[in-house]
Amino acid sequence: MSEIKYYSEEGLQKLNDELHHLIAVERPAAAAAIAEARDKGDLSENAEYDAAKEAQGHLEARISKLQELVANARLLDESKIDTSKVLLLSKITIRNVKNNMKQVYTIVPESEANLKSGLISVTSPFAKGFLGHKAGEIVEVVVPAGKMSFEILEISR
C-alpha cells in the first residue's frame, strides 16, 4: 500500500501534466526509437536497440511511479486553512531576531518544495520549528549553524 501524500492544486496539476506528457509524447517516441533500432539489423549485437529498450524501461518505471502518486494524492483545500497558526500551506512572514532581516516562506508538501521560490518543505526541520505557532510568537529554530530565533510577523495563505 502506498503512502497518501497531500498536494496543493498547483502541485497536483504539475504531476498530472508530467504524467500526460510522458504517456502522450515520451512513450510514442520511445516506441519509435525501438522500432528504428530494430530495423538496423541483428538484435543480438545492436547496442542502439539495447539502449532504446533500457530507456523505455526507465520511462515506464517513471510513468508507473507517477500513476501511483496521482492515485494516492489528496488535494488540500486552501480555503479551509486556519491562518491563526502555522500549518501546511501557510504563508509566513518572519523576522530574524538577531539581524532584523525579514523573510517570507510558504510551507508546502515535500514534493513541492523549492527554496529559491520561498517554498519550504513541511518535513524540513526549519518548517517544523514554526508549525503550530501563532503570529507574534518568537520561535527558536534549529538550523545547521545552531539555534536561531525568529518572530512570526504574519500568517496568511
Q: pLDDT for 6-34, tens place per residue?
A: 787 888 898 899 999 999 999 999 999 88
Per-domain residue ranges of the chain: 5-75, 78-156
Single-letter residue type at 83: T
pLDDT in the model for residue 107: 92
| Assigned C-alpha cell, 11 | 502541485
152 within 8 A of 86, measured Cβ to Cβ? yes
pLDDT over 70 at 1, yes or no: no
Class at the top of the CATH hierarchy for domain 5-75? mainly alpha
**CA-CA-CA-CA torsion sign (83, 85, 87, 93):** positive
- 43 band by pLDDT with thresholds 50, 70 and 90: low
CATH number of 78-156: 3.10.50.30
Instruction: Mean pLDDT check: name the lowest of 87-91, 133-137, 152-156.
Output: 87-91
Return the H-helix or E-strand segment holding 10: helix 9-21
In what side-by-side order are the strands of the sheet with 138-143?
119-121, 102-108, 91-96, 146-156, 138-143
Q: How far is residue 88's CA from residue 157's CA, in Å, rounded to a whole number?
A: 10
Report angle CA 35, 40, 45 to the nearest 5 degrees: 105
Residue 24 has a pLDDT of 95
pLDDT in tens, 74-126: 877 767 667 788 988 889 999 999 999 999 999 988 888 898 999 999 889 89
**Which pTM value belongs to this model?**
0.64
- Model confidence at 136, in pLDDT bands (50, 70, 90)? very high
Amino acid 6: pLDDT? 78
Pairing type for strands 5-7 and 146-156 reads unpaired
- What number is the average pLDDT over the span 129-141? 92
